[in-house]
Homo-oligomer: A and B are copies of this chain.
């Protein structure tokens, strides 16, 4: 308690009990539903895609040069390679690595039995209960970064928590990266949309962390989508070259809507995702052996009625479980899933879909979970209420991932000596010793009886969430940052803005 109280004073973070670790240390086993025969069958198809079909690398001659020099079969823009060699290259990437935060107490371990939760990424719109749905702007962006920083169940602040649409596209990455560095001291991502923006992100990280430190440590990562099916355009290969070239991390994520960017089959889409991501990992290891790499997967089903993507459905849930098992076989940290939904508002649909998506993300052992909180409307909209609602549930998953305590104290034999059959355990010694830590205490679930709930104004979870995030922002205090470093970052942003013409596309 003393430690928590001190922590709260220092950081202005929420008073909700927070896990002792800056990421989740998983003790619960993974759910591995595929038998050996099935895995071998799927891996054979991954190998076939890599060897026979190949992956297009386009608009990046340097990427072709790297592949060719290493001995791959490059025909035009198509890259094919021996699958055993690709797997051997993937094995050079670390099974787990630390992303160091500017506050070292908040550094996270990505990979192995560690799980890191980060908020939604990339939504052009925001929504909250008072102001409704609107384009994201820098004001919303700052509020959302502050909330992600303050929430004890988020370990990482991501990057594009919403699009700050009031900032020119060509300058946006500078403002976003600076806000993550200044308003929070948790780890975050850098930009990837263009090579120069990736470079700016890495250069700013160098100002924050120092050149020498960065040579030895991952302090920033990029997160980038391949262009499924089977295409890696220069945005991806250049991002890999910038981040991994500097020994920083990269997350490469095939985004496959089965039936559009992949066959209308979960098994086939999973193998395609593996093939695309593994080729990118191999490329990253050619750029810099040992560079941190996170194998991503973003699979979605679609509605028969409209062709619109659907989320939290059994097919992407199954893909989370399958990809988890396959990623561990390749030995790579995994990004998949999140609290995903197609719902436009924070209703039951949003929560059912988010929970099924996230429950499977968690049991599958995703090591880096982008979109763990705040996602709405198929990713088009960041919800302020949804952010704190999802994050409240993340605390429960963290508890579950701790596994079942079967210590002598947990088996509680002394309680049975004290309490007779038909008695009750409410005041017994074992209960008094353990009740404060026995159960996860969510902030936003109302378990009162109906009369109390009615007396309190019949608030639904969305209303309680609104009160929570607005209250959190009132208590926000910026984490301290070295004044010289802050000035250097501001100077960098100002200089680059003066160099880069304003552009809105």
Contacts and interface: CB of A to CB of B under 8 A. Distances in A.
Given A344-B450, A415-B268, A421-B56, A317 B400 contact: yes
A348 B419 contact: no
Nearest to A395: B314
A48 interface: yes
A25 interface: no
A33 interface: yes
B422 A38 contact: no
B359 A356 contact: yes
A315 interface: yes
Contacts of A450: 133, 344, 377, 380-381
A342 B343 CA distance: 22
Task: Tell me which of A309, A347, A454 has the highest count of chain B C-beta atoms within 10 A of its own C-beta.
Answer: A347
Task: Tell me which of A352, A356, A426 has the highest count of chain B C-beta atoms within 10 A of its own C-beta.
Answer: A352
Interface of A: 28-29, 31, 33-35, 38, 41-42, 45, 48-49, 53-56, 58, 78, 133, 227, 229-231, 258-268, 271, 301-306, 308-310, 312-315, 317-318, 322, 342-356, 359-360, 363, 377-378, 380-381, 389, 393, 396-397, 399-400, 403-406, 409-413, 415-416, 419, 421-426, 428, 430-431, 434-436, 438-442, 444-450, 453-454, 458, 460-462
A227 B396 CA distance: 29
Contacts of A397: 314
Contacts of A29: 33, 35
Contacts of A462: 347-348
A24 to B, nearest CB: 12
Given A352-B389, A396-B313, A438-B258, A421 B231 contact: yes
A322 B404 contact: yes
A260 B349 CA distance: 33
B344 A347 contact: no
Given A345-B460, A421-B53, A447 B229 contact: no
Contact of A439 (B313, B363, B415, B431): B313
A438 B350 CA distance: 22
Contacts of A381: 450
B349 A350 contact: no
A43 to B, nearest CB: 11
In the assembly, how many copies of this chain are there?
2
Task: Tell me which of A38, A231, A261, A314 has the highest count of chain B C-beta atoms within 10 A of its own C-beta.
Answer: A314
A349 to B, nearest CB: 4
Contacts of A426: 259-260
Contacts of A261: 424-425
B460 A404 contact: no
A399 B314 CA distance: 6
Contacts of A423: 229
A205 to B, nearest CB: 32
Given A264-B412, A359-B360, 19 more contacts: A48-B413, A230-B422, A231-B421, A259-B425, A260-B425, A261-B424, A264-B425, A265-B409, A265-B412, A265-B434, A267-B412, A304-B436, A308-B448, A310-B445, A315-B438, A315-B439, A343-B461, A348-B348, A352-B461
12 contacts: A49-B416, A78-B421, A227-B422, A259-B426, A260-B424, A262-B425, A265-B410, A266-B410, A304-B436, A313-B439, A314-B397, A349-B444
A38 B313 CA distance: 33
Contacts of A415: 263, 268
A5 to B, nearest CB: 17
Contacts of A354: 352
Given A263-B430, A411-B268, A412-B268, A389 B348 contact: yes
A58 B356 CA distance: 43
Contacts of A55: 421
B435 A318 contact: no
Contacts of A441: 303-305
Contacts of A229: 419, 421-425
Contacts of A448: 306, 308
